[in-house]
């Protein structure tokens, strides 16, 4: 059995019907969910780093904010290679050793996961 109430909100009266516990009332139908966007094409798997190469991997998941080096650049240990944004903080990714950049595998705006190789030296 349902009860009818009149409720006034901001000066406007509304008639509301409330079903008692144990009564079966037709539940309002929810709007059909929107289709999820198609996932972006998976990036191509990068070739493994050559033997003896130094790799710079993502220490945490995040979004590449900027890349400060390009293939062929010579860097020293501690040079900032890129900025990785994670948890709304900018993290400087530094060169672990002196060397020459042989492969930059990421670009600004790209999302990376923990352990993804971003640069090969």
- CATH no. for residue 92? 2.40.50.100
**Nearest Cα to 108, choosing from 75, 84, 89?**
84
Residue 94: count other Cβ atoms within 10 Å of its Cβ.
14
Domain assignment present for residue 102? The answer is yes
43-98 pLDDT tens trace: 445 667 677 788 999 999 999 999 999 999 999 999 999 999 998 899 999 999 99
Domain assignment present for residue 87? The answer is yes
Which stretch of DSSP H or E encloses residue 98?
none
Domain assignment present for residue 12? The answer is no
**pLDDT given for residue 23 in this prediction:** 52
17-35 pLDDT tens trace: 887 766 555 555 555 556 6
Domain assignment present for residue 116? The answer is yes
Report the number of distinct structural domains present in the chain: 1
83-111 pLDDT tens trace: 999 988 999 999 999 999 999 999 999 99
Domain assignment present for residue 20? The answer is no
pLDDT at 1 over 60: yes
Domain assignment present for residue 79? The answer is yes
Domain limits at 110?
A: 55-120
Contact, 49 vs 55, CB < 8 A?
yes
């Amino acid at each position: 059995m349902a009860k009818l109430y009149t409720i006034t909100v901001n000066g406007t009266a509304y008639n509301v019907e409330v079903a008692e516990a144990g009564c079966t009332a037709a539940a309002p139908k929810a709007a059909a969910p929107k289709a999820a966007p198609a996932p972006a094409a998976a990036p191509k798997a990068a070739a493994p780093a050559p033997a003896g190469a130094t790799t710079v991997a993502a220490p945490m998941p995040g979004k590449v904010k900027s890349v400060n080096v390009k293939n062929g650049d010579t860097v020293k240990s501690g040079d900032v290679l890129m900025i990785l944004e994670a948890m709304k903080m900018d993290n400087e990714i530094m060169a672990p050793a002196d060397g020459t950049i042989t492969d930059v595998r990421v670009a600004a705006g790209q999302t990376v996961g923990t352990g993804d190789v971003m640069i090969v030296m």
